[in-house]
């Protein structure tokens, strides 16, 4: 569900302080987009929201969530406004929980290797 190698790589690239800021910003923005995610807005808006979520998720290692967003984005880009958004929101919630639960362990493991 979470690509912990990517998480550790990002933290190493930008440092602990900036990493914490990136995580907070991602979670805040993703929460906002997930809350408004709807096929009622139309395929183009849905495509843009899913594209944003996919890119941010990939950057932070939310692998399964990013894949689901990518599939939805692909469908929306072809004009399909009936992309199911409930599975996207559910996968985000599960990914966020797994991330928050495993983050300390992943960072601790990274410190042990350093």
Q: Which domains does the chain have, with CATH numbers?
A: 4-113 (1.20.120.160)
pLDDT for the residue 110 = 55
pLDDT of residue 113: 44
Measured between alpha carbons, how far is residue 11 from residues 27, 30, 33, 78, 87 in Å?
16, 19, 24, 36, 29
Enumerate residue ranges in the chain where pLDDT < 70.
Answer: 108-114
Whole-angstrom distance, CA of residue 42 vs CA of residue 47: 9
At 109 the pLDDT is 58
């Amino acid at each position: 569900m979470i690509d912990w190698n990517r998480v550790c790589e990002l933290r190493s690239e930008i440092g602990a302080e900036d990493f914490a800021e990136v995580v907070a910003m991602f979670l805040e923005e993703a929460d906002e987009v997930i809350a408004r995610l709807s096929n009622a807005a139309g395929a183009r808006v849905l495509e843009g929201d899913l594209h944003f979520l996919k890119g941010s998720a990939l950057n932070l290692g939310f692998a399964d969530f990013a894949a689901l967003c990518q599939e939805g984005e692909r469908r929306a880009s072809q004009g399909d406004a009936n992309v199911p958004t409930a599975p996207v929101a559910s996968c985000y919630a599960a990914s966020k929980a797994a991330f928050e639960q495993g983050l300390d362990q992943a960072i601790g493991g990274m410190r042990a290797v350093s």
